Amino acid sequence: MAGEATSWQKEQISRAYVHALASQGGYTVGEWNVDKDGVDVTLRDRGLMIDFQLKCTQSPRIVRGGYSFDLDVETYDKLRSTERSAPGHLVLLVVPPNLELWVTQHTDSVVLACHGY
């Protein structure tokens, strides 16, 4: 199944990426089934927490040597609100254009072909 991925596939690879890194770092992951506060996942280490809004793209826009992502104003305002109990950040996951290359399984490893920013 090559071609442009659906939004649910992009969401799921983003969550898998966060889970893999959080597990390696020793963090717990809280997931939210409703994204009304602009938060998809929360990482926690003892009493410290950080909220993340996850976005994924197969065709990143490069601006001034970095990536640019058009986040809707409502979500942006939620992430930067001063009334948050945990800092909010946007995570942009860049995946290959070909969906079949996102995850490669070998006899001794599983490779996620993506980069998070």
Q: What is the CA radius of gyration of the chain?
A: 15
pTM, two decimals, is 0.87
Look at residue 34 in the predicted model and tell me its pLDDT.
Answer: 85
Q: What is the DSSP letter of 4?
A: P
Look at residue 33 in the predicted model and tell me its pLDDT.
Answer: 86
Q: What is the pLDDT of residues 35-47, one digit of tens each?
A: 888 999 999 999 9
Which distant-in-sequence residues (6+ apart) come within 8 Å of 50 by Cβ? 42, 43, 86, 87, 88, 89
Lateral strand order in the sheet of 88-94: 28-31, 41-45, 48-57, 88-94, 115-116
In this prediction, the residues of the chain whose per-residue pLDDT falls under 70 are 1-3
Round to whole Å and give the CA distance between 26 and 43.
Answer: 10
Look at residue 83 in the predicted model and tell me its pLDDT.
Answer: 93
Which domains does the chain carry?
7-116 (3.40.1350)
